[in-house]
Structure 1
Amino acid sequence: MNKYFLIIVTFAILLFLGCSEDTIEADVFGSISGVVTAEDTNEPLNNVKISTSPASNTVFTNEEGKFSISNVLVNSYSVEAELDNYNTEFEGVEVLEGLTSEVAIELVLSNTGNGAPSTPVLLNPVDGSVNQLLEIEFAWNSIDPEDDELSYTIQLRNGSTNEMEEFQIVGDTTYTVNNLSLETNYFWQVSAKDELNESVSSEISSFTTFSAQNNPFLFIKRIDGNSVVFSGANSDEVNETTDANVLQLTDESKNSFRPKRNNNVGKIAFLRTIGGENQIFTMSLAGANEQQITSTVPVAGFRQESIQFTWAENGQKFYYPNFDKLYAINNDGSGLSQIYQTNDGSLISDVAVSSFNPDTIILKTNDVDGYNVRVFAISQSSGQLLYTVLENQLGAVSGIDVTANMDKVLYARDVSGSENGDYRIFTSRIFEYNVNTQETSVVETEVIAGENDLFPSYSPDEGRIILTRVLNNQGAIPSIYLAFLNDSDDNDELFTNALMPDWE
């Protein structure tokens, strides 16, 4: 019996000692500290509510986004960060005895209650529009219900090449794109996005850029010492004031001038200086496929800026001067022939013909100083003089043109009568000669004292003329004007810093 009693007492003592050890073990603690920032800006967030699971203490971040929780029992915790307008975030952390565990939390803006922007409405260019310029200001509209700042993406696809371009815009609802391609169909779409919502996209719209065929005017501009050929459109037809649809056609590193268009063959002819000589070239209406026509006999005469040539025989030939001789050449460079020579050695400076009467050629001649001008008509077949338009007048004469039925001849003459070594023109005015009545009349324009009207030519409908207007001082900048023959008060400036106009 004593034996069993001893065993029971021993077991009870061991049990008591084990229970006593559990109750006297001390709790151990660590701490948690951290920072809360905005995910999109990385800026610290103030007054963020910080709590843990399992529960410990609840604290709030300061202005630096920092927080600290002390006396946290050693354990594994999930730290919770809450702030209005942000998604609640959780971050795991292990608390160790006597140590501070660091945690960094990024909060993402919540889109709860924040509406997406409206679907963009495309305003310009209008869907399906044609003859658009090669520089376009795209315009659209989109509204955000909370007035959030919106960012936009324009996608622009070239319908010919399928090349896609993207343009990023913040805030603005307009954006200008230049260097578009001629005669090309484009497709465009705008996407709008705020900071919280997915982007919304507009419908796809299309437009077509203008064709060079629609640019009836040719002219030159001076660039870095060279003449460069351009085309352009009537300002009234494209809602522009001046310089409408201006398109550069020749390389500015080459001297190219006196452009002349022929619609029968769909080409532009022009003069280009090659090795000190002026040669006739042709190109497409868009400025491609250049071809040299003349070579052995260049275009030559008095002053490069005064000399002219012409298309002939419905675009199949060219007539051009070489000093005192007039030549014809086929539009492919073959068939060169001399068709006329002055009998007094005077220089041929200008030539004009009509497709309705191919046998009659109008010529302008002058001496080596540019004066003693004659304008007259000859028969190509016989070489005989048909009639004289102008002679025995002092002063310079610039440009000649003729109506389709050869009943009127247009030219400009310096009425000041000045003849000087610098070939300076002081008071150039436009005149029209009536072949039937043999009378000459002044074409009234809005030109004023101190200005010159130069190199006039008829419009295709022959009711208007196009001309170069420039102040008479040296180095003045010229412009091209459109004038109505029967309305002296209706002159429109078409192109600035431009000269040598042609209109077909």
Structure 2
Amino acid sequence: MKSQLIYKCLVFAVFVVLSACSEDKIEDGVTGTLTGLVVSSGDNAPLANVKISTQPITSTVFTDNAGLFEITNVPVGDYAVQAELDGFVVEFEAAVIAADRESNVIFELSREVLDNNSPNTPVAISPANNATDLPLSLEFVWSGGDPDEDDTVTYTISLQNDQNDEVLELQTVSDTTLTVNSGLMFSTQYFWQISADDGVNPPVLSAINSFETTAIPNAEYLFVRKVGSNNVIYGADLDGNLIQLTSEATNSWRPRKNSAIGKIAYLQSVGGQTQLFIMDEDGGNKQQLTFAVPVSGFDLNEVDFAWEPNGASILFPTLSGVRQISTTATTGVTTSFYEPAAGLLVTEIAWSEFNDIIALKLNDIEGYNVSIITVDIDGNLLDTVFDGQPGAAGGLDLNIDGSKVLYWYDISGFELPSYLPQDARLFLYDRVSSSTTTIDTAVPTGRNNFDPRFGPNENDIYYTDKPRAATATPSVFFHDLGGAPGNAEQLLTNAAMIDYEQ
């Protein structure tokens, strides 16, 4: 960067007096102290290693890291104090030194700007102007640069939208490419402009370009993904386009969609309790349903609830049994639906779309001594699906007419205090023939299959596959019940609690 040192031509009356009047002379033997601070103009940042000198000549010192300096034993009199640092304009200040007193001066040094060129005007390259149907993860590309090779240019992208007053600003140094992975909204027109700033000249702005993001994906299936310490609910369409439905700042899990009313129910931690919520399919209009009677169970990661097929109410587990709540409730009032025998809890619930068949999983306080039963709409026992086996079981789902019950069972039979299944496998119970079939997903030793769900056509099932370790990362698979054994395919990584309803 070309630069030229600029010296201000200052005419101080003190110089005139010193040169023209013989009466004003530095007194011998009487001294004071000169102190001061040097900062950069504009941001008031302290400047170190600034050379400080005086006229008449006394001592020459340099500022410390805090921009401070001190000259002691300065003879009493009038002085011109000079501050000098490469890259900055030399400044002068007048100072009067009095006997045994401290005189203080402050310098604000301005950067040299002569012969420095402004950055090149940025030109947007991608996304193309007026582009449409763009994903929420975008790479912004532009041309730029600076005629002065030593200059460092900071680029700022400003994004405004047609939905609200929010302005999203993103910065990069020197690079003319920037990837945005979050912060954009679906079905939104954005206006973007690039600012180039070399720290010397005023910023240079590009022309304003625009683009539109893709429409909100139809959340065909729902799942949960761990983000930091919280569970976050996502939706996805059949092309794999994702939509985040709950915030990373809250712990939300176990999504269940009801297509009849276009709502999604889910669980969320609220003040140390687990409450039941509902929201629209795009994540809007979130509403808390339960209050005084929260969702509860032996393990909140295992509990599950069920929609009434028409969407009018939800059955959910509590420590005292199954409660029912209206989805239009605003006060949290619930009614009792089913009370298990003493010493047992209801942990999971499923409700068939037709015929009002309801499946319940009962267990003890440790999660074992499991029974899976079906009851009618009045809570009367219909079938005992699973009973009298050691180990963990769960993951209930019913097919459309309630004739089949899907569940998992840990065939190891172990009952570990940590409730850590070792060999969970999938099973299908036929209520008509009272028979149970093992579903062969070719799961290897050391892995578990959990939370199976029927797909919309009931030929496919969707489930979570996870290693034995409690902290292992889960994945979602699907399996064709009519296909060859072991035909499972992976659908999602870092995902669990799949729900697929149409």
Alignment TM-score, normalising by the size of structure 1:
0.64
CA RMSD, Structure 1 to Structure 2 (Å): 4.2
Structure 2 residue 188 is the aligned partner of structure 1 residue 185: yes
Aligned counterpart, 2:139: 137
Q: Which of 408, 428, 443 is 2:404 aligned to? A: 408
Aligned residue runs from structure 1 range 224-243, under 5 A: 224=229, 227-233=230-236, 236-238=239-241
Q: Give 1:275 deviation, angstroms.
A: 5.6
Checking the alignment, whether the CA contact within 8 Å between 2:256 and 2:266 is kept in structure 1 is yes
Relative to structure 1, is the Cα distance of residues 258 and 237 closer, same or farther in structure 2, using a 3 angstrom cutoff?
closer
Aligned counterpart, 1:460: 456
Distance 2:478 2:310 in 1: 27
Structure 2 residue 328 is the aligned partner of structure 1 residue 339: no
Structure 2 residue 478 is the aligned partner of structure 1 residue 478: no
Distance 1:425 1:105 in 2: 70
Relative to structure 1, is the Cα distance of residues 341 and 154 closer, same or farther in structure 2, using a 3 angstrom cutoff?
closer
Query: Letter of the aligned partner of 1:502 in structure 2?
Result: D
Structure 2 residue 441 is the aligned partner of structure 1 residue 436: no
Relative to structure 1, is the Cα distance of residues 302 and 199 closer, same or farther in structure 2, using a 3 angstrom cutoff?
closer
Q: Give 1:189 deviation, angstroms.
A: 5.2
Relative to structure 1, is the Cα distance of residues 446 and 207 closer, same or farther in structure 2, using a 3 angstrom cutoff?
farther
Distance 2:321 2:371 in 1: 15
Q: Which of 289, 314, 317 is 1:318 aligned to? A: 314
Q: Give 1:208 deviation, angstroms.
A: 1.8
Checking the alignment, whether the CA contact within 8 Å between 1:154 and 1:168 is kept in structure 2 is yes
Q: Give 1:185 deviation, angstroms.
A: 1.3
Aligned residue runs from structure 1 range 216-227, under 5 A: 216-221=221-226, 223-224=228-229, 227=230
Distance 2:217 2:193 in 1: 29
Aligned counterpart, 1:156: 159
Query: Letter of the aligned partner of 2:446 in structure 1?
Result: G
Distance 1:292 1:164 in 2: 31
Aligned counterpart, 2:369: 372
Distance 1:327 1:176 in 2: 48
Distance 2:143 2:457 in 1: 43
Distance 2:309 2:406 in 1: 21
Distance 1:326 1:484 in 2: 31
What is the CA deviation profile of residues 359-383 of structure 1, one whole-angstrom value per residue up to 9, with x for unaligned ones?
Answer: 22111112233222222211113x3
Query: Letter of the aligned partner of 2:412 in structure 1?
Result: S
Relative to structure 1, is the Cα distance of residues 178 and 392 closer, same or farther in structure 2, using a 3 angstrom cutoff?
same
Query: Letter of the aligned partner of 2:345 in structure 1?
Result: L
Structure 1, unmatched stretches of 5+, are 1-39, 45-103, 111-115, 239-243
Aligned counterpart, 2:64: none
Distance 1:423 1:142 in 2: 59
Q: Which of 360, 374, 384 is 1:388 aligned to? A: 384
Structure 2 residue 357 is the aligned partner of structure 1 residue 355: no
Query: Letter of the aligned partner of 1:350 in structure 2?
Result: E
What is the CA deviation profile of residues 117-142 of structure 1, one whole-angstrom value per residue up to 9, with x for unaligned ones?
Answer: 99754357981115x22x42224679
Distance 1:199 1:105 in 2: 16
Q: Give 1:232 deviation, angstroms.
A: 3.9
Query: Letter of the aligned partner of 2:291 in structure 1?
Result: S
Q: Give 1:297 deviation, angstroms.
A: 3.2
Q: Give 1:407 deviation, angstroms.
A: 2.8
Query: Letter of the aligned partner of 2:465 in structure 1?
Result: R
Query: Letter of the aligned partner of 1:315 in structure 2?
Result: G
Query: Letter of the aligned partner of 2:477 in structure 1?
Result: L
Query: Letter of the aligned partner of 1:183 in structure 2?
Result: F
Relative to structure 1, is the Cα distance of residues 279 and 190 closer, same or farther in structure 2, using a 3 angstrom cutoff?
closer
Aligned counterpart, 1:127: 131
Alignment TM-score, normalising by the size of structure 2:
0.64
Aligned counterpart, 1:399: 395
Name the SS for the 1:419 alignment partner: coil
Aligned counterpart, 1:59: none
Q: Give 1:304 deviation, angstroms.
A: 2.0
If you compute each CA radius of gyration, which structure gives the higher value, 1 or 2? Answer: 1
Q: Which of 205, 212, 215 is 1:207 aligned to? A: 212
Q: How many residues align?
A: 386
Name the SS for the 2:131 alignment partner: coil
Query: Letter of the aligned partner of 2:212 in structure 1?
Result: F
Structure 2, unmatched stretches of 5+, are 6-111
Distance 2:318 2:405 in 1: 23
Checking the alignment, whether the CA contact within 8 Å between 2:464 and 2:477 is kept in structure 1 is no
Distance 1:500 1:249 in 2: 17
Distance 1:127 1:400 in 2: 46
What is the CA deviation profile of residues 404-430 of structure 1, one whole-angstrom value per residue up to 9, with x for unaligned ones?
Answer: 222322111101111233322110011
Q: Give 1:188 deviation, angstroms.
A: 4.2
Query: Letter of the aligned partner of 1:354 in structure 2?
Result: S
Name the SS for the 1:298 alignment partner: coil
What is the CA deviation profile of residues 184-242 of structure 1, one whole-angstrom value per residue up to 9, with x for unaligned ones?
Answer: 413345679999xx989678442225537537323152644xx433214268534xxxx
Q: Which of 247, 252, 257 is 1:249 aligned to? A: 247
Distance 1:387 1:174 in 2: 62
Name the SS for the 1:128 alignment partner: strand
Query: Letter of the aligned partner of 1:321 in structure 2?
Result: P
Checking the alignment, whether the CA contact within 8 Å between 1:235 and 1:494 is kept in structure 2 is no
What is the CA deviation profile of residues 260-298 of structure 1, one whole-angstrom value per residue up to 9, with x for unaligned ones?
Answer: 233433333223445654332233445554433223433
Aligned counterpart, 2:75: none
Distance 1:179 1:105 in 2: 38
What is the CA deviation profile of residues 107-165 of structure 1, one whole-angstrom value per residue up to 9, with x for unaligned ones?
Answer: 6889xxxxx999754357981115x22x4222467999xx9x99977553312226555
Relative to structure 1, is the Cα distance of residues 338 and 158 closer, same or farther in structure 2, using a 3 angstrom cutoff?
same
Q: Give 1:451 deviation, angstroms.
A: 0.9
Distance 1:168 1:278 in 2: 40
Checking the alignment, whether the CA contact within 8 Å between 2:122 and 2:196 is kept in structure 1 is no
Relative to structure 1, is the Cα distance of residues 295 and 119 closer, same or farther in structure 2, using a 3 angstrom cutoff?
closer
Q: Give 1:349 deviation, angstroms.
A: 1.3
Distance 1:203 1:290 in 2: 36
